[in-house]
């Protein structure tokens, strides 16, 4: 079994010390195991300090929760409990490693669904204490912001747009432990409204989209549109000179369009409105335009205060919604206009996973941050449902009252016939 360490040979401690000494002398990379359970995915990743992914495994609950129309915390907790040992064992097998080969256990402890976080936190502490390994507590959103550095050279400081089903924020990443938030959503997150609209449009009743999540279905449907201008969406918060997001107006406008179309065409039961593809395209563009407008303001704010050197002007996008190619292309247009480089976290690492937690553990290990070794330190770590990603600069942005000349993205977006 994976965690049977209590009956080890008496020479184990001596051999363990010799192995650590050998690792120090040979500059052997540290190996970190990461555990993620903040929402509905049970993930485990194993990464070394050179950025190599040695092993990974994940159990997704998406299809299970799809039939309920949203995540049920008690069901999510039960599924985490059922699969976490299996997922970690699978990751270790894929890496051809044992627990004794791991140097530290990194685990998501904030923010997230408390019932889900508890499972990963308790399991991470258990194997850390059982294997006498250091425990590294991880902030889920900070991990998303740093994951890109495992795959590409991105120097501090840089701007990151985190967009997912639970979050939407613009953050400056100064280093592994210093984050500054320029703005966030004051209501819904973009991934949340994409899911809600996809369910309301009954896109899972269309064969092509049956097993897609809401965001994937909206994007795929939008590519089939013939007229993106058929449905009108007002610009959200355009007159506000800040980096705060609001998606509730876009959501309500879309729901109103759906209701009007259903009434006009006498749509009932599982039937789909005739212009569903056009509505998906208009809706997606409204979200994209809002994201671009606020990101442009963040870039111009940073330029105004000279926070990021010219040779490091980089926008990173990460989180589940960063998988959307249409949104990524629009943000690339904004970056090109403002002399920024756009770097997208690889799509498979944009969604929740254990690899990003392991990598955050690596960054902390290298920096000597949050490495808990004693039993009392490890046991005292608590989960947190809500916690800021870092220092809040939203008011600083507002006080500057920057005027931004809007960058027109529509024409450039649709010059590519594949969009």
- The Cα 392–Cα 105 span in angstroms is 29
Confidence of residue 419 (pLDDT cuts 50, 70, 90): very low
What digits encode the pLDDT tens for the residues 194-230?
A: 999 999 999 999 999 988 989 999 999 999 999 999 9
Region 75-87 average pLDDT: 95
Q: Is the peptide bond before 346 cis (omega within 30 degrees of 0)?
A: no
Q: Which DSSP symbol is given to 100? A: G
Cβ pair 370, 106 in contact under 8 A: no
- Specify the pLDDT at position 67: 67
- Specify the pLDDT at position 15: 45
DSSP string, 363-387: HHHHHT-S-B-SHHHHHT----S--
What digits encode the pLDDT tens for the residues 34-52?
A: 999 999 899 999 999 999 9
- Specify the pLDDT at position 245: 97
- The Cα 129–Cα 6 span in angstroms is 11
- Specify the pLDDT at position 269: 87
- Specify the pLDDT at position 69: 65
The answer on pLDDT for 14 being more than 50 is: no
- The Cα 102–Cα 365 span in angstroms is 13
Region 82-100 average pLDDT: 97
What digits encode the pLDDT tens for the residues 272-283?
A: 999 999 999 999
The answer on pLDDT for 264 being more than 50 is: yes
Q: Please report, rounded to a whole number, the percentage of residues in the chain having pLDDT higher than 90.
A: 82
Q: Bigger pLDDT: 403 or 18?
A: 403
Confidence of residue 416 (pLDDT cuts 50, 70, 90): low
- Cβ burial 375-391 (10 Å sphere, 16+ → b, else e): eeebeebebeeeeebbe
The answer on pLDDT for 121 being more than 70 is: yes
- Specify the pLDDT at position 6: 39
Region 60-87 average pLDDT: 84
Q: Measured in Å, how far apart are the chain's first and last C-alpha atoms?
A: 51
The answer on pLDDT for 120 being more than 90 is: yes
Average pLDDT taken over every residue of the chain: 91
Region 330-342 average pLDDT: 97
Domains of the chain: 28-151+350-388 (3.30.420.40), 158-344+392-416 (3.30.420.40)
Question: What angle in degrees, to the nearest 10, is found between the helix axes of 73-95 and 114-130?
Answer: 30
Confidence of residue 176 (pLDDT cuts 50, 70, 90): very high
- The Cα 118–Cα 125 span in angstroms is 11
Confidence of residue 63 (pLDDT cuts 50, 70, 90): low
In terms of DSSP H, where are the helices of 223-353?
Answer: 248-265, 276-304, 325-337, 347-350
Strands 179-184 and 168-173: antiparallel
Residue with structure tokens 């985490």? 80
- Specify the pLDDT at position 61: 78
- The Cα 139–Cα 321 span in angstroms is 19
Confidence of residue 359 (pLDDT cuts 50, 70, 90): very high
**Full-model pTM:** 0.90
């Amino acid at each position: 079994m994976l965690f049977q360490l209590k009956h080890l040979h008496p020479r184990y401690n001596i051999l363990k010390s010799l192995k650590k000494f050998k690792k120090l002398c040979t500059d052997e990379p540290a190996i970190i195991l990461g555990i993620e359970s903040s929402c509905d995915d049970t993930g485990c990743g194993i990464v070394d300090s050179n950025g190599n992914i040695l092993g990974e495994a994940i159990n997704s609950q998406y299809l299970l929760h799809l039939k309920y129309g949203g995540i049920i915390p008690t069901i999510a907790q039960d599924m985490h409990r059922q699969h976490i040992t299996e997922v970690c064992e699978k990751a270790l097998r894929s890496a051809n490693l044992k627990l004794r080969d791991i140097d530290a256990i990194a685990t998501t402890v904030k923010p997230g669904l408390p019932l889900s976080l508890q499972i990963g936190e308790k399991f991470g502490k258990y194997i850390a204490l059982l294997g006498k390994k250091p425990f590294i507590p991880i902030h889920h959103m900070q991990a998303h912001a740093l994951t890109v550095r495992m795959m590409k050279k991105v120097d501090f400081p840089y701007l990151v747009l985190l967009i997912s089903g639970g979050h939407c924020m613009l953050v400056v990443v100064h280093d592994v432990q210093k984050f500054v938030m320029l703005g966030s959503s004051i209501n819904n997150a973009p991934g949340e409204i994409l899911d809600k609209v996809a369910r309301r449009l009954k896109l899972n009743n269309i064969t092509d989209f049956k097993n897609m999540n809401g965001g994937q279905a909206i994007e795929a449907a939008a590519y089939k549109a013939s007229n993106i201008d058929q449905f009108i969406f007002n610009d959200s918060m355009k007159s506000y000179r800040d980096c705060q997001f609001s998606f509730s107006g876009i959501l309500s406008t879309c729901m109103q369009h759906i209701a009007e179309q259903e009434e006009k065409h006498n749509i009932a039961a599982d039937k789909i409105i005739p212009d569903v593809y056009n509505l998906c395209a208009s809706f997606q563009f409204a979200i994209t335009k809002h994201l671009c407008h606020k990101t442009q303001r963040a870039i111009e704010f940073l330029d105004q205060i000279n926070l990021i050197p010219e040779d490091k002007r980089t926008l990173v996008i990460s989180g589940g919604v960063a998988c959307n190619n249409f949104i990524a292309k629009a943000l690339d247009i904004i970056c090109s206009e403002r002399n920024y480089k756009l770097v997208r976290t690889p799509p498979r690492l944009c969604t929740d996973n254990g690899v990003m937690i392991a990598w955050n553990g690596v960054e902390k290990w290298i920096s000597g941050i949050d490495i808990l070794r004693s039993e009392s330190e490890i046991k005292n770590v608590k989960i947190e449902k809500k916690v800021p990603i870092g220092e809040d600069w939203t008011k600083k942005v507002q006080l500057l009252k920057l005027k931004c000349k809007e960058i027109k993205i529509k024409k450039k977006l649709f010059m590519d016939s594949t969009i």
